[in-house]
Homo-oligomer: A and B are copies of this chain.
Amino acid sequence: MSFSSPGFTLAGAGIYEPARVVTSDQLDSAHGRAPGTSARLGIETRRYASGEETSSFMAAEAARSAAADAGWELGQVDALIGACGVMEQPIPGTSPLVQRRLGLGESGIPALDVNATCLSFLPALDHAIAGMALKGWRRVLIFAADIASAALDHDDPEASAIFGDGAAAVALEAGGPSRILASRLETYGDHSDLCRLEAGGTRLRPNEDLPDFLARSRFRMEGIALFKVTARRFPPFMARLFAEAGLGPDDIGTIIPHQASAPALAHLARALGGDPKRIVDTFATLGNRIASSLPHALTMARREQRLTPGSNSLLVGSSAGVSLGGMIVRW
């Protein structure tokens, strides 16, 4: 199933990085761990959001930056699509809160959220392109903001030290030379317990069983099992994605991955071969910023002028679910 993509333009992109930088040494010290415990995971620093730096605040800052990069007035936007891994609050979704922060709260501009945890940006991009093809949208802002630090269990360094907070946004315009050549999401729900945050929805209720609720209000990740489940499915997944695009690994100019972990990025480099400089890697300084990682890496690639006309980029990653996701874009 190939993707019948209309032409579009990546008109702008922007990020928001929380002010507070936390080094791996600081983190180890704060949680009584031996020096080097966190750095061994391949991460030197990450950003943590303050109380004022909510998901919607960070998303709005990134969205403003993307719109400015595109030269848009915010009121010209036809749709605002949220692609956060975790919402700011259950009701309403994050996108109406971002719309309000952007000063568009009386505009009527449609605001909705799309979720596939860390890979949310990919179906959000599908949705934006579809809106251009089917609904006549001309300008769409997609944002992702995540605050991993809200729910980390620092007793488990491998499921906490690798995460950071942040936001990113892209401004997409209908028409232009860029096309999605392939877009693929594969979900393997049998492994949904390997990466989970259970408290905060309809199932666990603080007013019914508070101790249980609190016990499950920390993010849990079985890192090694998750890596195995993902790595085993990765080669056939990539073969199907490349077949959809009619391309091979060597046809990719820039690889824009979800910044899952140092081993995940190393595995990607090995699996795809070629020049490892093709890979956008911000893990060491920013860590895994959940769903904001992918649009953040895309923004970096754009700023470094790596998205040259006619070249191909691969957006790729895995997420809780477990899902594997990838998109091949010709610019």
Contact = CB atoms under 8 A, between A and B. Distances in A.
Interface of A: 1-5, 54-55, 78, 80, 82, 84-100, 104-117, 123, 126-127, 129-131, 133-137, 146-147, 150-151, 183-192, 195-207, 210, 213-214, 217-219, 233, 319-323
29 contacts: A1-B78, A1-B136, A3-B134, A87-B115, A87-B201, A88-B202, A89-B199, A89-B200, A89-B204, A90-B200, A91-B197, A92-B319, A93-B117, A96-B192, A99-B187, A99-B189, A105-B189, A110-B186, A111-B185, A111-B187, A112-B187, A123-B127, A126-B127, A126-B130, A126-B131, A133-B133, A150-B203, A150-B205, A206-B217
Contacts of A319: 92
A189 B96 contact: yes
How many monomers of this chain does the complex have? 2
Nearest to A78: B1
Contacts of A85: 91
Contacts of A127: 114, 123, 126-127, 130
Contacts of A210: 214
B126 A116 contact: no
Given A87-B201, A201-B86, A201-B90, A191 B105 contact: yes
Nearest to A2: B136
A319 B84 CA distance: 20
B91 A219 contact: yes
Contacts of A129: 134
Given A96-B187, A117-B92, A134-B130, A111 B321 contact: yes
A177 B114 CA distance: 28
Nearest to A191: B105
A206 B199 contact: yes
A215 to B, nearest CB: 10
Given A134-B129, A192-B100, A202 B113 contact: no
A-B pairs with lowest CB-CB distance, top 9: A130-B130, A105-B190, A1-B136, A100-B189, A99-B189, A200-B200, A108-B186, A91-B197, A110-B185
